[in-house]
Chain A
Amino acid sequence: MSSSELSNIPEPDEFMRIAHKPPRSGWMDIPVVFKPGTYCFPAKAKNLKILGMPNPREWSPTDEDWKLPENWREIIREGFKDRLDKYRSFKLFMDICVRCGACADKCHFFIGSGDPKNMPVLRAELLRSVYRKDFTLGGKLMGRLAGARELTPDVIKEWFYYFYQCTECRRCSVFCPYGIDTAEITMMGRELLHLLGLGINWAMEPVANCFRTGNHLGIQPHGFKDTLEFFAEDIENITGIKIDVPLNKKGAEILFVTPSGDYFGDPGTYTCMGYMMLFHELGLDYTWSTYASEGGNFGLFTSHEMIKRLNAKIYAEAKRLGVKWILGGECGHMWRVMHQYMDTMNGPADFLEMPTSPITGTRFENTKSTKMVHIMEFTADLIRHNKLRLDPGRNNNLIVTFHDSCNPARAMGIIEEPRYVIRNVCNHFYEMPENTIKEQTFCCGGGAGLGTDENLDMRLRGGFPRGNAVRYVQEKYGVNRLACMCAIDRATLIPVCDYWAPGVLVTGIHEMVANALVMKGEKERTTNLRGEPLPGKEE
């Protein structure tokens, strides 16, 4: 993200001159307009070809003709029926909404854009209207009066626009009296679109890369090794300690998997260094894998089948390397996949053992089937057992607040572990307002594959509620660091903060852990992992 891109966005007061009041004409009469900055570029043909997905071609959302397959109507109808038969969630959520509107102002995209079709209820109605026409008696007989409409190319365009203006964050589902989950709706909508060859490149290029090279960024094995060794050098410069980088090591006790964002771009890299320092200090018998070099899974933003195709390598690699269990790094959507899908899709993991901390002896009973532990569970357990020497004073220059990432909060419930760790590694921690954290947390605005620069206008709109809450604690407590445990957040919250709460930087939690971690035999540290002087060590 360059600052020039941000400078194309008007000042906040002008940017937010929006109305939450819907227009006069009904939503079915308002055609979709692809405004620059509010949509993502389409998936390139080469990426769809690698994955064997239908209708690969070059096209643009602003084209009149989207070059849909000839029988596109049948494809959608069949795909719709197939999914109604396979997913109770989908069928139920098509039928039982009472349109009470409680979800409307829970969506960050609606709050930030005012576009009524970003109200979760209307996002679902985009599908329901077609469902009624094709699958219900009332819709067939009464048509529009029953909220039904014909499937037309314009409807497909509308789906594409709005199902890629939802980050599958599930905040609305917390407030819905029937638990209707828009993530489920959006996932189905995107699956249907993919049947016609309609996807976005920011999701499909990572998926294609991940399929072939093991990670979203397409980093090949030697590149992966170079990167980690480069981090090891940095760590040596800062701490004086030389650390190992175990790679594809057979017979290691633990396979460590983290999103590629952690070793690709700042500030994720500092968190990655944090893991490496922690594992070295513990003398942990672990290994990285070049094949399973991606914890994230953009399949989640594509289709259920794609989740499974990409996720398969985690257990496969754990089996090949003969590890006992799997440890996972700081990531959001990755943990939705690991927690809610992996075991069902690619399990049972009966070749692994009950995850047990070699340092504290704690058996992670809550992972006895999946055999995968979240690093925040692992580190919280270490701190609780006094196994780490921590000097939180080294983080005294940080006044920290914590952003709960959507999936860990609402698809896993890992809420106290990160807070416990943060409280132990820094001295100044302040929560954002209650209805913007924990299960009510707001998305960064760029999850679910939308974190691309061409979509910046919409990302900043979606990031407004989060940015607004950060601004609040910035003004009230002088917060200057936004901690999070999600690789997408670490990329997308940077522009959100730069725009909505300038002066607040983004950090992973294990970056702060590593800064506070007093390692055996370390030299006197003068800087933190970012190379900034430690408090009291300024020139």
Chain B
Amino acid sequence: MTAALEAWRLSKTFGGGRRWFGRARAPVCAVREVSFRVAAGETLGIVGESGCGKTTLARMLAGLLPPSGGRITVDGKDPRAGAGAWGGLVQYVFQDPLGALNPRKTIRQIMHAPLRHLLGMEAPARAARIAELFDAVNLRREFLDRYPHEFSGGQAQRIGIARALAANPRIVVLDEPVSALDVSVQAQVLNLLADLQRAYHLTYLLISHDLAVVESVSDRVAVLYCGAIVELADAAEVFARARHPYTRLLADSAPVLGRKPAPAAAGELPDAPPRGCAFAARCSRAGDACRRRAPEPVCTRGENYVRCFHPVETPQ
């Protein structure tokens, strides 16, 4: 397997340090030692509840936030090498499609930026490329001279996608690309993303809290809890045959037509994870070992793993 993107023990800590009069501030560990590999052309889904570090992880992968520890490699190389290279390798699609477009610039100006800054193209070449991109995302060329506020969420998100593709990236990080859209438009955008992936052989990192979206679009899924990956599994079986108790909790809490809603899980996401397994306080299977030390990843199949002392056994 050739890894298009590899994260190795990637961490991000916010805060810390000291106040003026020497009182130490508690740092917030948003992402803790996350490691995974994504093959070229693969889609890795990242799920987790709000505040678990999804967006922090995504921004680090796109080079928008410097990690506090760990390493990111794209095609086996450090993406920081070379001028503006990171933006040319990894691009980012935002959750709020309208917020990600500068309200004071026309779509044409917005589309020119990546071509000029990342690829250094001349004006005529840029115009041709923009026309090509707009065709690819099914947008009319008349839109180019309008301002962002004139578009609906679905159109704006397609502009965002076209802009991300403009830099010719290998990898696209999709941070909740459809959660701000109407359900009818969600499917449209997801289908478009799938078409584009095939056409340009793209690698996707899809971040979402919508398990149905993740399950249907991804090849593999990483479940994030308290900034750490607790389970990495194939999309087909991650929810049907969850190994980690937290994955099972997520799967059971997703609303399914005709099923009674599962009882709400006790407890909230803790601010500072306690010693031991972060999930121990909310876990029905937790034993003494879980509260004493953090579980190491246990290989399940291939590169998939689960971090749990007492994984759920489900019949294969």
Q: Does B associate with A?
A: no
